[in-house]
Structure 1
Amino acid sequence: MFRPLELFIGLRYTRAKRRNQFISFISTVSIVCIAISVTALITVMSVMNGFDNELRTRILGAISHATVSGLPGESVQNWPRAVQITDANKHVLGAAPYVEMQAFLQARRPSGALVRGIEPSEEPKVSDIGIHMVEGRLTDLTPSSWNIVLGRELAMTLGASVGDKITMAVPELRATPMGSVPRVRGFKVVGIFELGMQEFDANLALINMSDAERLNSMTGPTGIRLRLDDMFNAGLVAHQLADQLGQVYRVDTWMDSHANFFSAISMEKKVMFIILSLIILVAVINLISMLMMLVTDKQADIAILRTLGSTPRSIMGMFMVQGVLVGVVGIGFGVGLGSLLSWKLPVIVKWIENVTGVTFLSPDVYYISELPSKLLASDVGWVALITFLFSLLATLYPAWRASRTQPAQALRYE
């Protein structure tokens, strides 16, 4: 903690710029550079958070936060009891059974697909596919209707649209006079959805769960999909349900199925933070230059203060006050501008697109057509802290040089 003398003189040096306007200019440039660097880092981190959140939302709109399944290759035993136990967990918002299988689809063109049998009335509890329907409704998947809903990319690959007939073949063999052949069934396309993720739009098809059971010769669902109040509680809930359900059930989470993908996004965010922190380091170099010139300019003042009894530590504190003040002012402007820019960035980008006619994220190329932004207080805090530490370190060497000034040598030519 600085004593009042160091703080008073340090602030006086900050305000008094009549003798050397160039030092004042460098000080202003240092503040501007730090503010721009902090603004850029906060904005980029917010955009990274926005993409991460958007991808999580879209992926978890098709898959579930957690899944209860039976032993490999078997259906879930006594699944109504399993649903009852999962619903009793305070973190579970909804549970819905499903049947999942790989199938071969044929319309105008062939394609493989992941076919999921669902209960249309229960599906909204665990996924957002119902609100992403481009055509038709999930409620059209009634039992024994042999209707099907396709992802938009999958429908384009098959060359099918609503009302068309498609043929599905599943790897469940049945005996015939001509030998074992796969089960084949005709379906009518009653809906098309678009989640905005290639993984699901190009590979997922939905049918009624009872139709899937009959087609795949199953007597129960493949598993039970769960939606939680907080997706980051998935690991905790999985352990709790595994203990309650017993060994004949297996509980998996979204972290298990997409761990590598989200780890890559997290690593990319960390790397971007480190790289952009170097921009702040470059901006802080201006602060070192300003303080070194200030020390040279104030040699006589330093000598006089030393002859009046100021200690080297006191002299060092005076110049650290000015350097830290420049850093704090730059951080303050940077945090304010960065937060405002991150908050309004989608609107600003949309305005620039309307004015220039240039589309930054074309819907024909990218599944996320609007630039997302999510401002987190933790990111702002880390950016401000890192910048403050850089500014504090930048003041140490110039302040140390000032404290080593010898009064006799400094006043020799005064």
Structure 2
Amino acid sequence: MPQSPPPFSRFERMIAWRYLRARRAEGGVSTMTVISFLGIMLAVAALIATLAVRTGFRYEFVGTILGANPHVSLYDQVEIDADGRQNRVFEDYAEAAAAVAAVPGVSHAAAVIRGQVLAAHEGRNAGVEVTGIEAADLATVPLVARPEQSFGDLSRFGQGDGVAIGIGVARELGLQLGDRIRLISPDGARTPFGTSPRVSAYEVVYIFQVGRWDIDRVRVYLPFAEAQSYFNRDGVADEIEVYLDDPENVNAMILPILQAAGDVSIWTWRDSSGAFLQALQMEDNIMFIILSILVLIATLNIVSGLIMLVKNKSRDIGILRTMGLSEASVLRVFFLCGSTIGVAGTLAGVALGCAFAIWIDPIFDAVNWVAGGGVWDPSVRLISSLPARLEWGDVASAMALSLGLSFVVTIFPARRAARMNPVEALRHE
């Protein structure tokens, strides 16, 4: 008894390839094949590009959050002073910072002073956030010591009356290196006649750009001792900033830090940015679902093409069936036709999407040039450029989605061809 050929044998692949290459005049659907291929390619490329930009956004935001802000902030318990005002300053800040810095997993801990004041220069005014910090501690803040762009010398910070400011503050006030920025605080010196505003001028010795507009636009660093005097914090600190070796593992570090610091309140970077990251994650999921529908629509073109192909090749199917070709072989032939389009379109889409993510900067520069500039406003989007980051997991998920849909939608027209009655197929020929 003759053995049946194995699935997807050479003759089945040969027939499928001939059908894919056939012109319309020969009963093929080459135009629909091209349209199906282009649709899947563009849909997969759009999905990968979107996933890359989405991952780039999250990476940039988390990177700037972790690089320009403390991973953990410690605050002393609230006390009521003699005037009836709430007071939560650290009096033993040096000991507390040293104890926290000794915890395994903590890379650095520093006491800081914080305050919001009005900055002025040559008739321009802007609200800024002042952070008083030691020069050695400021040099350990990653995106301040190693920013996207910087001007001046960070080593001059703390020497004399030198301060460091964000590039957004410099642009808002028209400041350059060597200029003097005036800081005006309403809670200034206390006199017998009340509290008078405090006005002090400092030389700008360092300008930095971390890449997030909401940081570059408001951040001013003042030497710690000067900040204590300026904000009436003599001998105390407002908080202790803690930096970790592994910021993603911040939840596991809460208990050891509390045990070392004593009776304090703790605030992590996830607490301050958790809602924002959850919004990003929800947006990611919605975008993936929407673009998955786009891929599904593109793969449905395969169904249209295969239905036309089955109709045009009904005579061939009848002849092949009368010659002994089984239903399973016919199904596999047309399944190969559809899946080949899906595989080719998916691979081309992966290449196009990856190329877009890799060369997104020159592509976006070209779009910006064609549009006449101003396409990207950092004050609105908070970061200085459009990010893109390829993750192999994203590429694999896009490929799996496209290939899976291509294989599934191909089954239905292939089954229709396999179940065609050869007598009916040849009756009108």
Aligned equivalents of 2:379, 2:188: Cα separation in 1? 37
Per-residue deviation at 1:372? 2.8
Q: Alignment partner for residue 203 of structure 2, among 157, 178, 189?
A: 189
- Alignment gaps of 5+ in structure 1: none
Aligned match of 2:112: 98
CA 1:350/1:106 → structure 2, altered by over 3 Å: closer, same or farther?
Answer: closer
SS at match of 1:405: coil
Bigger drift between 155-164 and 32-41 goes to: 155-164
Per-residue deviation at 1:349? 3.8
Identity %: 28
Per-residue deviation, residues 28-79 of structure 1 (Å, max 9, x unmatched): 3322321222122212322233333333333444312222332354234644
Aligned equivalents of 1:156, 1:352: Cα separation in 2? 26
Aligned equivalents of 1:339, 1:257: Cα separation in 2? 33
Per-residue deviation at 1:188? 1.6
Q: Alignment partner for residue 65 of structure 1, among 62, 71, 80?
A: 71
Per-residue deviation at 1:15? 1.4
Aligned equivalents of 2:344, 2:283: Cα separation in 1? 30
Aligned equivalents of 1:27, 1:160: Cα separation in 2? 61
SS at match of 2:427: coil
Superposed CA RMSD: 3.4
Q: TM-score, normalised by structure 1?
A: 0.84
Does the 8 A contact of 1:31 with 1:327 survive in 2? yes
Per-residue deviation at 1:7? 4.6
Per-residue deviation at 1:128? 1.8
Aligned match of 1:253: 268
Aligned equivalents of 1:168, 1:146: Cα separation in 2? 15
Aligned match of 2:303: 288
SS at match of 1:40: helix
Aligned match of 2:133: 118
Does the 8 A contact of 1:94 with 1:126 survive in 2? no
SS at match of 1:340: helix
Aligned match of 1:75: 89
Q: TM-score, normalised by structure 2?
A: 0.81
Per-residue deviation, residues 231-285 of structure 1 (Å, max 9, x unmatched): 322333334423x336512332222212233333333333333323233222212
Aligned match of 1:171: 187
Bigger drift between 117-126 and 225-234 goes to: 225-234
Does the 8 A contact of 2:99 with 2:261 survive in 1? no
- Alignment gaps of 5+ in structure 2: 79-86
Aligned equivalents of 2:364, 2:171: Cα separation in 1? 31
Which amino acid letter does the alignment assign opposite residue 74 of structure 2? V
Per-residue deviation at 1:88? 4.1
Aligned match of 2:81: none
Per-residue deviation at 1:330? 1.4
Does the 8 A contact of 1:35 with 1:334 survive in 2? yes
How many residues matched?
Answer: 408
Aligned equivalents of 2:103, 2:355: Cα separation in 1? 40
Aligned match of 2:237: 221
Per-residue deviation at 1:9? 4.9
Per-residue deviation at 1:301? 4.1
Bigger drift between 77-86 and 244-253 goes to: 77-86
Per-residue deviation at 1:87? 3.5
Per-residue deviation at 1:310? 5.9
Does the 8 A contact of 1:93 with 1:125 survive in 2? no
SS at match of 1:69: strand
Aligned match of 1:27: 33
Aligned equivalents of 1:166, 1:381: Cα separation in 2? 54
Per-residue deviation, residues 180-216 of structure 1 (Å, max 9, x unmatched): 3156252323234343433223322221112222333
Q: Alignment partner for residue 54 of structure 1, among 50, 60, 69?
A: 60
